[in-house]
Amino acid sequence: MTEPTDVDNDLGLPSRRRFLREGSALLGGAVMAGGLAGSEALAASDNADNLPPNVPEWMKAPGDPMGSQLYGTPSPFEKGVIKNIPDNLPQYLSASGRTPLQDLDGIITPNGLFYERHHGGVPTIDPAQHRLMLHGLVDRPLIFTMDDIRRFPSESHIYFLECSGNPNYKKPYGKTASDLVGLLSCAEWTGVSLKVVLQEAGLQPGAKWIVAEGADAAAMTRSIPIEKCLEDAMLAYSQNGERLRPQQGYPLRLLLPGFEGNMSVKWLRRLRVAAEPTYSREETSKYTDLMPNGSVREFTFYMEAKSIITRPSGGQRLSTPGFHEISGIAWSGHGKVKRVDVSVDDGKSWQEAQLQEPVLTRALTRFRLPWQWDGKPAVIQSRATDVTGYVQPTLAELLAVRGDNYYYHNNAIWPWRIAANGEVSNASA
């Protein structure tokens, strides 16, 4: 029998080989412990025509017929993978529900787990009755039905959305990745370029802002600089192929890639073109910040570069020492993620993680780093850098500048502590 090394060479196996060779023994060890050493050990000789021992129950009788779910749902064994919602909120009409980031892979958030943030509950809107009004400093004020909106040329893009209060700065800090930054999701959106719709109405001189209003009970209202409206803003009606979910603005929402999530006004009913912002309730009582010198920071649109390790992360447990992939997500409101560095020694040294292609503008980017855990306590963390060169800061750096009254736009590095027994917890808590 040929030695394994020669076989690998015959097959032309590539550059990852040395890494895998290192990981191999340990992975093999885990496999032996979990599989071969158990009750299902392989027969010494391979008999290709026989089923392996222990044919499971679910092979002995037909399964559920095709079409028993006309709209599919997850396995009953995944019933714990749901939105992360505190059960003791004072009220739920203006509240938020988080995506379980630590249970997800890749960059697409399934629509059922997309984060929620509402100011007056979720309206149930009949799309045949819904209208979008475009008025103010335009040549031709217009009212659109959903059919009108669908008549425009369409475009599709994968973009993240993130709440600007994700998370706040004060203890107690959350225990899981979802607790910390679960007001974050990513989807493929389809809709119309807002620029195209504005061209239809004709912008007048002095058009500097657009005030967007939602058709919810809060009439959620935000002012958007005209530059963003003419850059990459969309009127979105579909999310991951199907029409928007009610919680994400059915039948129509504004989508402002890279801006704080609340500005992507849901259930969009009105766009007023204006010379000045409107200073609505949601841009005065909320979504502004008091600086230590008493000045107010307002219109803080962009979500800055950020990242978090989702696996391993708080609440999880490493079963054994040995090979563990470190995996997480990174994003920036300013464009593409350029690099992500990971430290496994409490910030003393950093290694560049691999980014999963394609790396897309203003989308989540999945990063990964192979890691051999030696079984000793460790602190791991990730740090994103975006195309502008901006580097994700530490919490201490942010707090030093922003002071005690700051609430929004916390894009700090969040380190995880791994105990000797493998338990993972928030190292800042």
Which residues ranging from 32 to 71 are in contact with its own copies (CB under 8 A)? 34-36, 38, 40-42, 46, 48, 51-52, 54, 56, 58-71
> Would you count residue 22 as binding its own copies (CB under 8 A)?
no
Scanning residues 308 to 337, which ones bind its own copies (CB under 8 A)? 319, 323-325, 327
Q: Which DSSP helix (H) or strand (E) runs through 58? A: none
Tell the smallest beta-carbon distance from residue 199 to its own copies (Å).
5
Site map (CB under 8 A) of its own copies, residues 235-254, x = contact:
--xx-xxxxxxxx--xx---
Among 175, 208, 230, 335, binds its own copies (CB under 8 A): 230
Among 102, 116, 178, 412, binds its own copies (CB under 8 A): 116
> Would you count residue 147 as binding its own copies (CB under 8 A)?
yes
Residue pair 239/185 in contact by the 8 Å Cβ criterion:
no
> Would you count residue 171 as binding its own copies (CB under 8 A)?
no
Among 195, 281, 286, 339, binds its own copies (CB under 8 A): 195
Nearer to its own copies, 51 or 293 (CB): 51
CA distance 121 to 385: 36
> Would you count residue 114 as binding its own copies (CB under 8 A)?
yes
> Would you count residue 90 as binding its own copies (CB under 8 A)?
no
DSSP assignment string, 299-338: ---BPPPEEEEEES-TT-B--SSEEEEEEEEEE-TTS-EE
Write the CB contacts of 19 (distance below 8 Å, at least 6 apart in sequence): 370
Q: How far is CA 305 from the centre of its chain?
A: 13
Tell the smallest beta-carbon distance from residue 277 to its own copies (Å).
12
CA distance 389 to 77: 43
Residue pair 399/292 in contact by the 8 Å Cβ criterion:
no
> Would you count residue 274 as binding its own copies (CB under 8 A)?
yes
Nearer to its own copies, 360 or 380 (CB): 360
> Would you count residue 75 as binding its own copies (CB under 8 A)?
yes
At 74, list the tokens.
Answer: 């997850």
Nearer to its own copies, 96 or 411 (CB): 96
> Would you count residue 284 as binding its own copies (CB under 8 A)?
no
Tell the smallest beta-carbon distance from residue 349 to its own copies (Å).
21
Scanning residues 391 to 420, which ones bind its own copies (CB under 8 A)? none
DSSP assignment string, 192-216: EEHHHHHHHH-BPTT--EEEEEESS
Write the CB contacts of 324 (distance below 8 Å, at least 6 apart in sequence): 312, 318, 371, 372, 373
